Amino acid sequence: MQIEFILLIPAAYIVGSIPTAYFVARWRRGIDIRRHGSGNVGAANILALVSKRWSIVVTLFDIGKGALTVWVAQLLGLGAAQQVTIGVITIVGHNWPVFLHFQGGRGVFTSLGVITMLSPKLGLIMLVIPYTLATIRQVALGVTIALVSLPFLSWFLARLFYIFEPLPVTLGFLALFLVAMLRRLTAPRTSITASVPPGELLVNRLLFDRDIRDRETWIHRTSTEGNLTESTLKQSERQAKD
């Protein structure tokens, strides 16, 4: 089993590194998704830049990455600690993919896939909390709340969530939370956030996964490098279709 686990570590990272959102944006719009919209390599930015249909495709693929690697670990008979480790490595691959010079997404849906394979009930909670807060347009805050709650739920209510090895799973969920927060905190500043005080920036990133309070301005911002006007985007889309 040790050999299988060792071989699965790089495989999980490579699978996690597959940047579906980047490929879709290149194919459908002819753009580098990292330089447009929110700059995030994920389904939400695909929704803003490409279409709802393709954002669903990216969502399902990202969830599948996390679920697949943990499922393979389960098929190989690996223990809970090893399963969690493989899951976290997959998320690390998504957040810091080797194929995009380590500039990836936030790993929310990949995390959902990992969590669901470890505990379907906790996976449902991870899904419900953010989309409950979506009614007030605070999905990122919902994700933060869900990630914070996971270690407590897996430890104190382990039996309820069918977690039979609570210690490694709880430590794994804690690692998953730390990876998510690290990704938020290490994102580069943009021109519109250069003047935001460090304390305010820290709170905004940890709670809302953005640098400024104005959600609409943040979501629809365009990076200063490689800016495209709307007309240029449409032109690029026509060229990509041709």
> DSSP code of 197?
-
Dihedral over alpha carbons 43, 44, 49, 50 (to 10 degrees): 40
The percent of residues above 90 in pLDDT, for the chain, comes to 62
pLDDT of res. 217: 76
pLDDT tens, position by position, 134-185: 888 888 899 999 999 999 999 999 999 999 999 999 999 999 999 999 999 9
Binned at pLDDT 50, 70 and 90, residue 238 comes out as low
Determine the average pLDDT of the residues in 98-123. 94
Q: Which tokens belong to 138? A: 């605070």
Domain boundaries defined on the chain: 2-220
48 compared with 72, residue with greater pLDDT: 72
Q: Which tokens belong to 5? A: 């686990």
CA dist 27 and 37 (Å) reads 16
pLDDT tens, position by position, 13-48: 999 999 999 999 999 999 999 888 778 899 988 988
Q: Is it the case that residue 70 has pLDDT exceeding 90? A: yes
Q: Is it the case that residue 232 has pLDDT exceeding 50? A: no
Cβ contacts of 82 within 8 Å, gap of 6 or more: 1, 5, 73
CA dist 191 and 194 (Å) reads 5
Count of all residues that appear for the chain in the document = 242
Q: Which tokens belong to 1? A: 């089993």
pLDDT of res. 189: 78
CA dist 190 and 170 (Å) reads 35
pLDDT of res. 187: 82
CA dist 242 and 226 (Å) reads 22
Q: Which tokens belong to 232? A: 């240029």
Q: 147: closest CA among 183, 186, 179?
A: 179
pLDDT of res. 221: 66
| Range of lowest pLDDT (47-51, 102-106, 223-227) | 223-227
CA dist 33 and 27 (Å) reads 11
pLDDT of res. 230: 45
- 119, 163 Cβ separation under 8 angstroms: yes
Mean pLDDT, all residues of the chain = 88
CA dist 165 and 13 (Å) reads 24
